[in-house]
Amino acid sequence: MTSKSKNPLRPEDFPLDVEGQKIKTQDGTPIADAESPAVAVEIADRINEDEARREEDKWSA
């Protein structure tokens, strides 16, 4: 996977989306290229789940 952005992801970037091998933020900005579309989906799903869990924890504290 190669990174396109050096900036950290912000809450408004979620959920991440996938287009082919590209992982994109909510507004369509590409942030990474994966080695295959399946890997891109797996990475985006894991990051989205992690962010959802982080947001839940923030509100339950």
Total-model pTM: 0.82
3-state SS, residue 24: strand
Reference 43, options 19, 26, 18; nearest CA is 18
User: Would the pLDDT of 32 be above 70?
Assistant: yes
Mean pLDDT of 7-29: 95
Q: Is the peptide bond before 15 cis (omega within 30 degrees of 0)?
A: yes
User: Would the pLDDT of 3 be above 60?
Assistant: no
Domain that holds residue 55: 2-60
Place 60 in a pLDDT band, splitting at 50, 70 and 90.
Answer: confident
Total domains in the fold of the chain: 1
Whole-angstrom distance, CA of residue 61 vs CA of residue 47: 21
